[in-house]
Structure 1
């Protein structure tokens, strides 16, 4: 069930209404999903003006790009299992309400048979989140952390901002930590074919021992999470935040950093990542919106499935 007026099935009760766990616990066959990040309505103008704290009173270009993403996803055949947006849904500042309204209007165009999965970013709940900001996000987009099952695979959605600065809401970080330990215990017991994490801020951009940066999790917390994920058998962590493609491996853990639907801070194109889950592997490729819009990817999907 969704809240009155919702255009999507929200995450609540720490799970996602779109998928019924009992029907999704068993592995059946390979499938794929689409990952996007940082539509961030309002950032493109703010970045161009050099005023990211207060700029961003226009977002027509972000609307166009997100509409292009929705149309590209809708034409995919077969349909992806879901479409996950890894945070910074809007840029925020004083125009948050209108940005949110416009983003929801665009996302309404995504095929209703393709569930939407939302991940909170720092611009969604604040660089130093408060209980009030997180509650506002929950009312708008659904739970800030939750789990769900698809085809025998366990997916974990985390509020990564609690790992950056939880000074104004320490009890919420503790609650997520306790919840995460329970979820990882399930993964460790191999009750799932794979376990995959979604969060906004990457654990690291290239290597697990890199220096602290605005775009990664600080070393002590990073190492704690990497150790927990590795021990539990997590195969991949998908994130955004960097507005460029990046990532790397730490042992068998694949840290995947996807560039933005919206504002680019590097040389990458506006795009989406296609992620194929097979019995043995998780294979992914980043595509520009133009390529996804103009060309079929059925052959690519088959190639990725064959990599099993």
Structure 2
């Protein structure tokens, strides 16, 4: 069992040390994981006061919400295989005043996650900057582990990507190139291994509802998006899970599902603070977004538990 202090640095050497590939490359029956996004300590105050650059000096509400998320996850039975946070861990951008305190407070909450439920971290734009540099990415890696990596769970291949390198790599083009080369290598490995599914985690969605929608702050630029979607489609990737939008959304491209989950923290639409439960079966993925109150009080609904119980 890893010590509590190691829980934040399990992504090392482009893999996740919580899972041994030799043990996890074969299908063993249905399982599930929890996806969360955007705890973003500091945004609720900043959004309320209309100063998203400097108004993030309080985050008490986000602490309570993150604590509720951890408590809800810890109560689940059976346990999820892992808990993935799809970016914007805190609101403070690299180098800003409150960032260090926000990071420490989030770690203080997350360290209470059941140690049998590995934490998987995905970098967001607030974690590495809108235009990341080698320095901002190095800083992220010191706190949360590698910014991109892959891992196996029960015959399913997971890829964690740094979507900010797709969004704006102008300050570190060599790092984008390195991720691109690595991604192609990983997809070649997945093809040889004949995995059950390939699933991607990133922060910025490829698109919010339709593959040909206009480019904006909350999705990737069209030409970049088209190249990635086609690559993912050809590789047989089943789904991409993202956050960033602070609302639930999604769509599909040639059988590739784009799943956009709302935030644990600040909501920008009509959704509630919540988490997504994702059940992985041999044939498909079944997922549902739960409010934190719902998951805390009732747990996972019987329909999903029944899917989970259908063994090999």
Q: 1:182 aligned to 180, 185, 192, which one?
A: 185
State the secondary structure of the residue aligned to 2:152.
strand
| Residue pair 2:132, 2:164 contacting (<8 A) in 1 also | yes
Whether the 8 Å contact between 1:36 and 1:261 is mirrored in structure 2 is yes
- What secondary structure is seen at the aligned counterpart in 2 of 1:29? coil
Deviation at 1:9, TM superposition (A): 4.7
- 1:43 is aligned to 43
CA drift of 1:266 comes to 0.2
Count the aligned residue pairs. Answer: 308
Question: What is the CA-CA distance between 1:94 and the residue it aligns to?
Answer: 1.3
Shift of 1:184: 1.3
- Alpha-carbon deviations, 1:149-179, whole Å to 9, x = none? 0000000000000001000000000000000
Q: Does 1:211 align with 2:208?
A: no
User: Match of 2:109?
Assistant: 106
Would the alpha carbon gap of residues 283 and 220 (structure 1) be closer, same or farther in structure 2, given more than 3 Å must change?
same
* CA distance in 2 between partners of 1:290 and 1:32 (Å): 20
What is residue 220 of structure 1 aligned with on the other side?
Answer: 223
Q: Tell whether the 8 Å contact from 2:36 to 2:86 is kept in structure 1 after alignment.
A: yes
* 2:44–2:266 Cα contact (<8 Å) kept: yes
Is residue 80 from structure 1 mapped to residue 72 from structure 2 by the alignment? Answer: no
Q: CA deviation at 1:33?
A: 0.1
Choose the corresponding residue for 1:276, options 274, 279, 283.
279
Q: Describe the SS at the equivalent of 1:244.
A: coil
1:220-265 deviation line (CA, Å, top 9, x unaligned): 0100000000000000000000000000011110000000000000
Residue pair 2:45, 2:55 contacting (<8 A) in 1 also: yes
Tell me the secondary structure at the aligned position of residue 245 of structure 2: coil
Match of 1:29 in 2: 29
Tell whether the 8 Å contact from 1:2 to 1:9 is kept in structure 2 after alignment. no
Distance 2:247 2:161 in 1: 21
Q: Is the 8 A contact 1:38 1:89 kept in 2?
A: yes
Distance in 2 between the 1:119 and 1:105 partners?
Answer: 18
Q: State whether structure 2 residue 175 is matched by structure 1 residue 164.
A: no
Q: Is the 8 A contact 2:7 2:118 kept in 1?
A: no
SS for the counterpart of 2:98 is helix
Write out per-residue CA displacement over residues 111-141 of structure 1, whole angstroms, 9 at most, x where no aligned residue. 0000000000000000000000000000010
2:253 is aligned to 250
CA distance in 2, matches of 1:5, 1:198: 24
RMSD: 1.7
The CA distance in 1 between the partners of 2:149 and 2:193, in whole Å, is: 19
Work out the CA distance in 1 between the residues paired with 2:67 and 2:3.
Answer: 24
TM-score, structure 1 as length reference: 0.97
Q: How does 1:221-240 map to 2 (within 5 A)?
A: 221-240=224-243
- Counterpart residue number, 1:301: 304
Query: Is there any run of 5+ residues in structure 2 with no aligned partner, and where?
Result: none
Matched, 1:153 2:156: yes
Query: Structure 1 unaligned runs (5+)?
Result: none
Change (3 A) 1:88 1:231: same
What does the per-residue CA deviation read over 1:10-55, in whole Å, with 9 as the maximum and x for residues that have no partner?
2010000100110000001000000000000000000001111111
